[in-house]
Structure 1
Amino acid sequence: MEEARVALVTGAASGLGRAVAERLSREGLRVVASDRDPGGAAVAEAIGGAFVQADLADPAEVWRLAVEAGKAFGRVDVLVNNAGFQHVAPLERFPLDVWQQMQQVMVTAPFQLIRSHMKPMKERGWGRIVNMGSIHAVVASPYKAAYVTAKHALLGLTRAAALEAGGTGVTVNAVCPAYVRTPLVERQIADQAANLGLDESEVVERVMLEPAAIKRLVEPEEVAALVAFLVSDEAGAITGGCLPVDLGWTAR
């Protein structure tokens, strides 16, 4: 019987990361869930996985995560770089320390984890890396300069890594959803309302949903389903992609 593959999912304590961890577990993968929130331990326990608590804002913690994730089940076959956060503010008032932290968590930490796990994936002749992008990897919105910059950079990292991994059995892709029904998005509504001078209901209708063809939020499980396909054997011909789950946002 073939041994189950092992997936490392960052930001797995809640929201999209939790949905991905749960879906991959249902697909038969052993999951190493990671988050700075100790609540991720309950997610890992529920799916029979392992938990590594780590704050990706600290580069030393990322290197430790890379090592401990590999030890949990002996290797890492699938890497899902999902961890991220949002801060909404005008550029002229955007805190430099928050800017730097966002680039570390959403660009440098994925680079560190790819750097750690791509070589053994290549040596085994099989691997899947999925970076959680956003529609903001391809379009921009006001008051989100740090997030937009990070997601654009993450897409560039995805494409470069895909080219380097070509022909080795390792694929690298970015999944780029629109607004997903998660705690991260819910926290943005009040911030956006304050910055734009709108009611919170107007933020949902005029900012989050107005550009979309389908007028609703994306469900976490819909994104997790795409991730599950990308890490399967059947997706071996897909690499370097920015795959939208965007309700038609970028069709304009």
Structure 2
Amino acid sequence: MCNPLISVTYMCKAALTEVPADMDGKVALVTGSTTGIGLGIANHLAEKGCSIILTGLGSQELINSILEDFKKYKGRVDYVPADLIDPVSIATFCDKVCDIHPDGVDILVNNAGIQYVRAVEDYPLEKWNEMIAITMTAPFLLTKHFLSRMKQKGWGRIINMSSQMAVISTQGKAPYSAAKAGLVGFTKGVALEAAEYGVTCNAICPGFVDAPMAIRQMDDLSREKGISFQAAREHFTNAHPTKKAVTVAEVCGLVDFLCTSSADNMTASAILMDGGNVAH
């Protein structure tokens, strides 16, 4: 009689040895990819063999430097500008991406985001509108445009960059929490609509990431409280029971996994990467 434990062990080993190069030759679009987490993800996917669509803010000098750096990868890389606050600009952006890649993209990483901390009664309406536009409306419009092509191909990965603030909040971040929570809800609905077509949709919910957005918050806290930058940094990282900030490399590793065939049955998930903070 076959030993069930041995059978399971054998199947696991077989699965690991049979995993293909999932991302080689795929086309990946990463928003907010001229700096921080987005740039890290774009580099990681390019290293895995993807062709990359970059988009984000930055001077022409910065963009040229990034494009030059990406020449070390075998896949094609293009920078396509877009104003993610403007639906018309997003529509033009999608058309330009499809001019470059007529079959659309295989991997869509909705990473672009903004941060604005202020009590609700003092929160400017224009900042609220920007928060919703970039965090929710842009992912909606990009997903709306590219999902049908993913379904036709029978494979796709949509990864939405949410936050631990989708499930908790703090003073001054009510709009940010609302937008990130909304993005998680959107993720779940899209995942259900796409599930039978080989397309997954997941959200990553990091804590404090060692990246420009968090660093700006540390600078702000340092000035506000009259403390050193290091003390401000510890204020943020000590919120994690691990006492460590999340690294861009760790986020890239999770994106990597979600794009592999090992994650074919992982969809509609909101994955916390917060050093245990939400478990408090």
Fold match (TM-score > 0.5): yes
Structure 1: any 5+ residue segments left out of the alignment? none
Pair 1:106 & 2:135 matched: yes
Q: Which moved more, 1:142-151 or 1:68-77?
A: 68-77
Correspondence 1:49-198 to 2 at 5 A: 49-74=77-102, 75-193=104-222, 197=225
The count of corresponding residues between Structure 1 and Structure 2 is 250
Say whether 1:10 aligns with 2:31: yes
How far 1:42 sits from its partner (Å)? 3.1
Q: Is the Cα–Cα contact under 8 Å of residues 41 and 50 in structure 1 kept in the other structure? A: no
Matched residues in 1 for 2:64 and 2:92: separation?
17
Q: Which has the higher mean CA deviation after the structures are superposed, 79-88 or 51-60?
A: 51-60
Q: Please tell me whether the aligned partners of residues 88 and 192 of structure 1 are also in contact (alpha carbons under 8 angstroms).
A: no
Give the distance between the partners of 1:26 and 1:147, measured in 2 at CA.
32
Deviation at 1:71, TM superposition (A): 2.3
Return the match for 1:20 from 36, 41, 54. 41
Tell me if structure 2 keeps the 8 A contact 1:209–1:215: yes
SS in 1 for 2:250: helix
Q: 2 CA distance for matches of 1:235 and 1:26?
A: 19
Q: Which runs of 4 or more aligned residues in structure 1 lie more than 6 Å from their structure 2 counterparts after TM superposition?
A: none
**Alignment correspondent of 2:52:** 31
Match of 1:43 in 2: 66
| CA deviations over 1:11-44 (Å, ceiling 9, x no partner) | 0000000000000001111111111324344324
Q: Is the 8 A contact 1:9 1:81 kept in 2?
A: yes
1:151-181: CA deviation from partner (whole Å, max 9, x where unpaired): 0110010001001111110000001111111
Does 1 or 2 have the higher relative contact order (CA < 8 Å, sep 6+)?
1
Structure 2 counterpart SS, 1:56? coil
Instruction: Give the counterpart of 1:220 among 248, 253, 259.
Output: 248
Q: Deviations 1:53-93 (Å, cap 9, x if unpaired)?
A: 11211111111222222222332111000001101111111
Query: Contact conserved, 1:14 with 1:40, CA < 8 A, in 2?
Result: no
Aligned-partner Cα distance in 2 for 1:3–1:135: 31
Change (3 A) 1:41 1:238: farther
Q: Secondary structure at the match of 1:162?
A: helix
Is 1:235 the counterpart of 2:256? The answer is no
Q: Distance in 2 between matches of 1:45 and 1:240?
A: 36
Larger Rg: 2
Distance 1:104 1:192 in 2: 26
TM-score by length of 2: 0.84
TM-score where L is the length of structure 1: 0.93
* Structure 2 Cα separation of the partners of residues 33 and 192 of structure 1: 31
Amino acid at match of 2:69: A
DSSP-derived class of the 2:246 partner:
coil
d(CA) in 1 for partners of 2:271, 2:38: 17
* Shift in CA distance, 93/119, structure 1 to aligned 2, threshold 3 Å: same
Q: Which moved more, 1:169-178 or 1:51-60?
A: 51-60
Fraction of identical pairs, as percent: 35
- In the alignment, is the contact (CA less than 8 A) between 1:122 and 1:170 conserved in 2? yes
The structure-2 alpha-carbon separation of the partners of 1:12 and 1:21, relative to structure 1 and needing over 3 Å to count, comes to same
Match of 2:274 in 1: 246
Deviates more, 1:34-43 or 1:130-139: 34-43
1:178-228 CA distance string (max 9 Å, x none): 111111111112334566x4635444333x223311112111111011111
- Deviates further, 135-144 or 16-25: 135-144
